[in-house]
A and B are shown apart, each in its own frame.
Chain A
Amino acid sequence: MARLIDLLEAGTMVAAQRPWPRSVVEAAAWKYAGEQLAEGHWSLLGLWAEPEQVHMALREPASEQVGVISLACPEGHFPSIGHRHPPAIRLERSARDLFGLRPDGLEDTRPWLDHGCWPGGGRPEAAHYEFLPVEGPSLHQVPVGPVHAGIIEPGHFRFTANGETIVRLEERLGYVHKGIEKLMAGRDPTAAARLAARSSGDSTVAYGIGFALAVEAALQVPVPPRAHWLRALMAELERLANHLGDIGAVCNDAAFALMHTHCGALREQVLRTAQACFGHRLMRDRVVPGGVAVDLDDAGEAAVQTLLDHIGAEFPALVELYENTASLQDRTMGTGCLSSQLARQFGAGGYVGRASGQDRDARRRPGYAPYGELEFAVPSRMDGDVNARLWIRIEEVQQSMGMLRQILARLPAGEIRIDLPAAAGEGLSLVESFRGELLTWLRLDAAGRIERCHLRDPSWFQWPLLEAAVEGNIIADFPLCNKSFNCSYSGHDL
Chain B
Amino acid sequence: MRKLLFQNLLRPPLTEPAPSPEAAELAALAARLDCAALQRLGHSLAIRQVDAGSCNGCELEIHALNNSYYDLERFGIRFVASPRHADVLLVTGPVSRNMRVALERTYAATPDPKWVISTGDCALDGGCFADSYAVIGGVGRVIPVDLHIPGCPPTPTELLRGLLTLLEAPQAAAEPPTTAP
Interface residue ranges, A against B (CB under 8 Å): 115, 117-120, 146-147, 149-154, 174-180, 182-183, 194-195, 198-202, 204, 245, 258, 261-262, 264-265, 267-268, 271, 275, 281-282, 284, 317, 321, 324-325, 488-490, 493
Contacts and interface: CB of A to CB of B under 8 A. Distances in A.
19 contacts: A115-B97, A118-B133, A149-B82, A151-B62, A177-B134, A178-B135, A179-B132, A180-B129, A198-B57, A198-B129, A200-B55, A201-B153, A258-B4, A261-B67, A264-B68, A265-B68, A282-B60, A324-B1, A490-B54
A151 B129 contact: no
Given A176-B51, A261-B68, A265-B69, A150 B81 contact: yes
B135 A281 contact: no
A400 B69 CA distance: 24
Interface string B56-96: 11111111101111000000000101110000000001101
Contacts of A275: 155
Interface stretch (B21-29, B98-106, B141-149, B170-178): B98-106
B14 interface: yes
B1 A258 contact: yes
B64 A271 contact: yes
A321 B56 contact: no
A199 B63 CA distance: 19
Contact of A176 (B54, B60, B69, B83): B54
A179 B59 contact: no
Given A183-B129, A282-B153, A175 B59 contact: no
Nearest to A145: B102
B29 to A, nearest CB: 23
Given A204-B57, A265-B68, A268-B67, 4 more contacts: A117-B98, A151-B63, A176-B93, A198-B55
B56 A488 contact: yes
Contact of A265 (B61, B67, B79, B152): B67
B133 A119 contact: yes
A179 B94 CA distance: 12
Contact of A200 (B49, B56, B58, B93): B56
B131 to A, nearest CB: 6
B60 A201 contact: yes
Contacts of B56: 153, 200-202, 488-490
A123 B39 CA distance: 49
A262 B4 CA distance: 10
B59 A317 contact: no
A174 B135 CA distance: 12
B99 to A, nearest CB: 5
A149 to B, nearest CB: 4
B69 to A, nearest CB: 5
A3 B87 CA distance: 62
B95 to A, nearest CB: 10
B99 A325 contact: no
A153 B60 contact: no
B97 A118 contact: yes
B74 to A, nearest CB: 14
A176 B96 contact: yes
Given A147-B102, A175-B96, A202 B67 contact: no
Contacts of A199: 55
A434 to B, nearest CB: 12
Contacts of B131: 183
A282 B60 CA distance: 9
B14 A265 contact: yes
B60 A202 contact: yes
A154 B102 contact: yes
Most buried by A among B1, B3, B55, B98: B55
A204 B54 CA distance: 13
Contacts of A267: 64, 67
Nearest to B105: A147
A264 B66 contact: yes
Nearest to B81: A149
A175 B133 contact: no
Contacts of B167: none
A178 B129 contact: yes
B50 interface: yes
Contact of B61 (A149, A150, A204, A281): A281
A201 B100 CA distance: 21
Given A174-B98, A177-B134, A321 B1 contact: yes
A179 B129 contact: yes
B53 interface: yes
Contacts of A258: 1, 4-5
A39 B100 CA distance: 42
B99 A176 contact: yes
Nearest to A201: B57
Contacts of A262: 4
Contacts of B153: 201, 282
Contacts of A200: 55-56
